[in-house]
Amino acid sequence: MAPITITAREFLRKSCNVCCLNRTIPARLTDVEYFVAKSVSRKEVPLKDWNKYYHDHEVEIATGRVQILDMPEAQAKEVAAVAAQTDGIIFHLWPDGAKAPNGVVGHPQSVGHKHRTK
């Protein structure tokens, strides 16, 4: 699988934001990830569904796999700190290796995902 390119923008100031992910150039919109404030996702999403579809961005950032490439390092650290206050849910829209999307939507999980118990 090709690496995911993430371009961060000033969008982490609301309770729900979106990040578009692509794996090729020119870009195909392969995935959409919503950044949802923990105060919203953990109140509104049943634990069973959260464990299946969501992941904690603080845990994901701690794995060292997240890089914000389109801004100075100090600013990227500020964005990461704000992102760490959110949970993510990914919608995979374009099957790997396919020449076109087929309508199937997947929900890949973060590599560092840890199930919550409450």
Q: Per-domain residue ranges for the chain?
A: 1-113
Range 32-46 average pLDDT = 92
pLDDT for the residue numbered 29: 80
pLDDT for the residue numbered 97: 86
In angstroms, the CA 110 to CA 19 distance is 14
Q: Is the pLDDT of residue 57 over 80?
A: yes
Nearest in space to 117 (alpha carbons), one of 60, 50, 53 = 50
Q: Is the pLDDT of residue 7 over 60?
A: no
Q: Is the pLDDT of residue 109 over 90?
A: no
Phi first, then psi: give them for residue 40, nearest 5 degrees.
Answer: -95, -55
- Most confident range, picked from 9-13, 22-26, 60-64, 103-107: 103-107
pLDDT for the residue numbered 21: 65
Q: Is the pLDDT of residue 53 over 90?
A: yes
pLDDT for the residue numbered 117: 93
pLDDT for the residue numbered 4: 44
